[in-house]
Amino acid sequence: MNLESLMTFLCHPFSSKIALVKYCFIEKNHLLLKCIFDLSKCLQLSIAKYEYSLFCQTVKL
């Protein structure tokens, strides 16, 4: 996986959602409520990263 595809994965809300659900239920086995709270934060961060990447592409930083 190259850097671009990694950033696409991290920035895409759906991909982040899948990764976080796997992290919560398979690796850490957290409570459902904590998963939902973490998922909410993760999605907010993912959307912010995605918007930032679009901004960078537009401005060509």
Tens-digit pLDDT profile for residues 15-39: 555 555 555 554 455 455 555 556 6
Residues 54-60, mean pLDDT to the nearest whole number? 74
The domain total for the chain is 1
Report yes or no: 16 and 43 within 8 Å, Cβ to Cβ: yes
pLDDT digits (tens, 9 = 90+) for 34-48: 555 566 666 667 777
Domain that holds residue 16: 3-59
Report yes or no: 35 and 61 within 8 Å, Cβ to Cβ: no
- Give the pLDDT confidence score for residue 50 in this predicted structure: 74
- Give the pLDDT confidence score for residue 56 in this predicted structure: 76
Residue 51 has pLDDT above 60, yes or no: yes
Contacts of 15 (CB under 8 A, 6+ apart): 8, 9, 46
